[in-house]
Amino acid sequence: MTDVRLTDIRKRFGALEIIKGVDLSIDTGEFVVFVGPSGCGKSTLLRMIAGLEDITSGELTIGGKVMNDVDPSKRGIAMVFQSYALYPHMTVRENMGFALRFAGAAREEVDARVNEAARILELGPLMDRKPKALSGGQRQRVAIGRAIVRDPDVFLFDEPLSNLDAELRVHMRVEIAKLHKTLKSTVIYVTHDQVEAMTLADKIVVLRAGVVEQVGAPLDLYDDPANMFVAGFIGSPR
């Protein structure tokens, strides 16, 4: 089981409380999308789940295990960022295998996992290129490939498509949906694009200033928003 549970999670930066008591249950295999305006704490929440940011108070469990003080590399998660920082001097193949090799995995295992991720994402023809010879969309696929190679229990995505043009964004959205169907992994996905949220999510979490305003299936939020804020955020055209 790889369910993710947050209980009264809080984050303070200095005197400012940024995350103000978040309770959340994410089931194994669920695709959950965090939405909310810029600065509401989406990335901070994700980074706390990833272990890149300390949790000020509250409890985080993954698969029933308390993770508050567990090293990021031991949480069974992989994170894909908006700015897909690939290593410029390495080929796509090397970029994808690096984390596993670094962790001491055997060459054959690294190769097998990299090849499997390349197959899923149809990266075959690009494997020997360096990042500078890739388009933005291709780079983002490599960044996702790199996460798949690590075979995480939970994928965390922080606005992975916001640097891509509109057409590519639609294409990648479909790719990510397919990926979730194939891998059946738990996904927590941050976006401020409501179309992405509505089409990808099993469950949407609407955040506002560090507080969860509403949690529900996309159509439930659309049909029955808890308040004007949710209505405005989910219902209004971009």
Question: Where on the chain is the footprint of ligand ADP (CB under 6 A)?
Answer: 13, 18, 36, 38-44
Of 159 and 175, nearer to Mg ion (C-beta) is 159
Give dist(CA 79, CA 195) in Å, integer: 22
Pair of tokens at residue 102: 């670094």
In the list ligand ADP, Mg ion, none, the entry touching 102 (Cβ below 5 to 8 angstroms by class) is none
Residue 104 CB neighbours (<10 A): 6
Shortest Cβ 19–ligand ADP spacing (Å)? 8
Amino acid at 137: G
Amino acid at 212: V
In the list Mg ion, ligand ADP, none, the entry touching 205 (Cβ below 5 to 8 angstroms by class) is none
Give dist(CA 108, CA 125) in Å, integer: 20
C-beta nearest to Mg ion: residue? 43
227 to 214, 219, 221: CA distances (angstroms): 9, 15, 10
Pair of tokens at residue 198: 């509505």
Residues 207 and 21: beta-carbon distance below 8 Å: no
In the list Mg ion, ligand ADP, none, the entry touching 13 (Cβ below 5 to 8 angstroms by class) is ligand ADP
In the list ligand ADP, Mg ion, none, the entry touching 40 (Cβ below 5 to 8 angstroms by class) is ligand ADP
Of 42 and 173, nearer to Mg ion (C-beta) is 42
Instruction: Give the CA angle between residues 144, 148, 153 to the nearest 5°.
Output: 120
Instruction: Report residue 4: phi and psi, to 5°.
Output: -115, 125
Shortest Cβ 50–Mg ion spacing (Å)? 13
In the list Mg ion, ligand ADP, none, the entry touching 38 (Cβ below 5 to 8 angstroms by class) is ligand ADP
Of 17 and 111, nearer to ligand ADP (C-beta) is 17
Of 100 and 188, nearer to Mg ion (C-beta) is 188
Of 31 and 157, nearer to Mg ion (C-beta) is 157
Pair of tokens at residue 29: 């295999």
In the list ligand ADP, Mg ion, none, the entry touching 41 (Cβ below 5 to 8 angstroms by class) is ligand ADP
Give dist(CA 44, CA 18) in Å, integer: 8
Shortest Cβ 25–ligand ADP spacing (Å)? 21
Given the rule CB under 5 A, which residues bind Mg ion? 42-43
Shortest Cβ 183–ligand ADP spacing (Å)? 25
